[in-house]
Structure 1
Amino acid sequence: MSDNDCGFGDFEFERRFYVEHLPSVVLDDPTPTLIVQSYYLAEQGHALRVRAQATGVRLAVDGADHYRDIINRHRTDFDFAAVTVKGPMNAGTRYEAERELDVSIALSMIELGGQVIVKNRYGLFLGTDGWVIDVFGGANRPLIIAECERGSPVTNLEIPHFCVSEVTEDRRFSNESLATHPFSAWAEDFGAELGFSGPTFMTSLGTNRSLPPQDTLE
């Protein structure tokens, strides 16, 4: 989300990373969030999204459930919803304007149309930063993305050991792209690409440092 208190208006500042295995430390989060969101526009980095989320709900993201079944099962658990407009990513900075919606209206809109993503979100602090870990379900299973967001550009970042490669500017990994071109369809190709080229990390945003392991992986 954008941080309007930092003088940057409707902009978000984030860096995103591909994760191969869910770090067990995220399971210490007592209030994971179930997120169901639908994209009504996803073109050239622009996006229009409706999101509903249920705090404290951990979904078994095994790909077995249709998103409508998930909504019906947890309809009374959803406690926040919003419509969001996003612009293209540029060096970890992206325009984002958000407005809160009535939860029931948002759920109806998600059920009626758009391209839907389902994921669990976990939050944790590592080093001096807060991180979120998104574990995707449905056709995007078994994708895991780690994200660090600040109220200003994410420079001189301490990167956790479980972050395999940076995907901040790889549009394939944006949520709106995943809604229309799910990870399961190209996961094998990406694995081969990663094996051939090796991990990459942005060097234009200061010095990257590695955080030592703080947990074992599942």
Structure 2
Amino acid sequence: MSDAGHGDFEFERKFFVRALPDAALSEPDPVLIVQSYFLAADGYALRIRLQGPAPAGPLPGDERELLEAASFTFCALTAKGPYVGGTRYEAERELDVTAGLAMVRLGGDLVAKLRYALWLGTDGWVVDSFLGRNAPLVVAECERGGPVTDLVIPDFCVSEVSDDPRFANDSLATSPYRHWSATYESELAERGPRFLTEFGHNELGLPT
């Protein structure tokens, strides 16, 4: 959530990545995130998010099994609006972890991922490696306190998907990547990589 005077709005750009970059693999402590979406329609979403340290060893391939394998240390309830022009409404409130976990166990469409935090150039990035039904999708995001303009884009970013609703977490909860990955790869092969131009100058190929 933005904390730079823009209220309950977040500013981010999102990119498709083929595999975890070396900079992420060197991060020793990725965070496990499990999100349960109780509403996901027309760009609006209502979710409960649980996060904590990733368990040691191989992770279960099912999102609900991850709920039992992990030890969560943070929980929040979040309301989101549609993504418009690099901006999305997001209001968040922290919840008691025990209560949040109980609600997630009762229902909602799940998304699970490992999150790696990186500092590249002058920007902070997160790289999400999705688990369960959305494996092996990897997505990188740059978020700022204001519009993400004049961005230096790391060389592991294959193509921008900021404006592709299929890559929104709330969409992945109900339409997992495995169901349409072949379609996306065909689209990418036909048109090639794309990077949005309405956010100023893009500098491509930041070494990592």
Q: Which residue of 2 aligns with 1:142?
A: 136
Pair 1:116-2:110 in alignment: yes
Instruction: Work out the CA distance in 1 between the residues paired with 2:154 and 2:175.
Output: 27
Instruction: Work out the CA distance in 2 between the residues paired with 1:22 and 1:129.
Output: 18
Aligned with residue 65 of structure 1, among 45, 61, 64: 61
Query: Deviation digits for residues 85-130 of structure 1, max 9, x if unmatched?
Result: 0000011100000000000111111111010011000000111000
Asked if 2 retains the 8 angstrom alpha-carbon contact of 1:31 and 1:55, the reply is yes
Pair 1:163-2:157 in alignment: yes
Asked if 2 retains the 8 angstrom alpha-carbon contact of 1:34 and 1:59, the reply is no
Instruction: Work out the CA distance in 1 between the residues paired with 2:126 and 2:135.
Output: 17
Pair 1:193-2:187 in alignment: yes
Instruction: Work out the CA distance in 2 between the residues paired with 1:143 and 1:127.
Output: 24
| DSSP-derived class of the 2:64 partner | helix
RMSD: 1.4
* Structure 1: gaps (5+ residues): none
2:2 counterpart letter in structure 1? S
| DSSP-derived class of the 1:169 partner | coil
Instruction: Work out the CA distance in 2 between the residues paired with 1:57 and 1:89.
Output: 32
Q: Which residue of 2 aligns with 1:38?
A: 36
Q: Which residue of 2 aligns with 1:91?
A: 85
Pair 1:2-2:2 in alignment: yes
Query: Deviation digits for residues 159-214 of structure 1, max 9, x if unmatched?
Result: 00010110101001000000000000000010000000111111001100024333
1:25 counterpart letter in structure 2? A
Asked if 2 retains the 8 angstrom alpha-carbon contact of 1:53 and 1:78, the reply is yes
Instruction: Work out the CA distance in 2 between the residues paired with 1:22 and 1:142.
Output: 10
Flag as ranges the 4+ runs of structure 1 deviating above 4 A: 56-61
Q: What TM-score, normalized to structure 2?
A: 0.96
Change (3 A) 1:180 1:58: farther
Asked if 1 retains the 8 angstrom alpha-carbon contact of 2:152 and 2:204, the reply is yes
